[in-house]
Amino acid sequence: MEQLFTRTGTEFKGTVDFNDAGKPIRFVDITCDRCTVFQGQRVWCRGTENGRPFSFTGFDCWTCGNTGVRGTRKERLFTAAELARANKAADTRAAKKAESERIAREAAEAARASIEANYRAVNADFLAKLATLCTGDGSQFWDRFAADLLVAFKNPSERQVALVEGEVLKRRQNATSAHIGAVGDKITVTVTVERVFSLPSVFYGQATTWVQICRDEQGNVVTYKGSVYFGNKGDTATVKATIKAHEFYNGVAQTVIQRPKLID
């Protein structure tokens, strides 16, 4: 008989059987998936964990009778010529599949590129402002914010537009913020509250301590920590105060005031 091979190309030297069509086949054991060998003994369990069986029943495997084989399956054997034809057909199918996937991938990439181009054109001003906020290393808030928008090319909401424009304006103002007067000077200044929050009182009955970050009419940052309340975010107040210190926070010049008195 002509030499036979398995589908993987291994030369077959065992007993040959034939299927109903007269084609050479072999019978291959199907390993039991209900039991396992542990310490030289086959046990009925669902598997092993840390080298030991779990769900161990103590009974013989009902699937394979502790043989380890739950059945057999037929596997076609091939002559050298048949194997060559089968491999050629498989290669042809693989090539067609790869070509089909390439065409689909390129079509998807072209469609995405078109969507991205349209998205960038429609939102050019917003994206230009957003780009000025990004560091480019992907680790900061604005980098992640931009990346999230570009995943689905979703048009920004009014709130997102306002958020970006507000940050751009804030950074522009911070770049021009300068210290006011000299430490110890008494000044009268009109400020707009940008951020305000309270600190918890340590003692019962103690006045609330407010931390307020403001900006004067020239865009300079003015900060105050104490019991005098200037107002909510966006409110304007005129105060008489003493300059306590000139500081920098994240590179922004800040004038710290103390003992403020509100002027009606």
Q: What would the mean pLDDT of 118-144 be, rounded to a whole number?
A: 89
CB 71, CB 27: distance < 8 Å: no
* Residue 66 pLDDT level (bands cut at 50, 70, 90): confident
CB 260, CB 228: distance < 8 Å: yes
Q: What would the mean pLDDT of 42-57 be, rounded to a whole number?
A: 69
Say what percent of the chain tops pLDDT 70: 93
Contacts of 155 (CB under 8 A, 6+ apart): 119, 122, 123
Per-residue pLDDT for 38 more than 80?
Answer: no
Give the C-alpha distances (Å, rounded to integers) separating 264 from 17, 188, 240.
106, 12, 11
Per-residue pLDDT for 124 more than 80?
Answer: yes
Per-residue pLDDT for 48 more than 90?
Answer: no
pTM of structure:
0.53
Q: Between residues 39 and 168, which one has the greater pLDDT?
A: 168
Q: Between residues 205 and 249, which one has the greater pLDDT?
A: 249
Per residue in 76-85, pLDDT (tens digit) is 999 999 999 9
Q: Between residues 264 and 87, which one has the greater pLDDT?
A: 87
Per-residue pLDDT for 219 more than 80?
Answer: yes
User: How many angstroms separate the CA atoms of 264 and 262, rounded?
Assistant: 6
Question: So what's the pLDDT on residue 137?
Answer: 76
Buried residues in 129-161 as b, exposed as e (16+ CB within 10 A): ebeebbeeeeeeebbebbeebeeeeeebeeeeb
Among 134-143, 196-205, 247-256, which stretch is predicted with the lowest mean pLDDT?
196-205
Q: What would the mean pLDDT of 133-154 be, rounded to a whole number?
A: 86
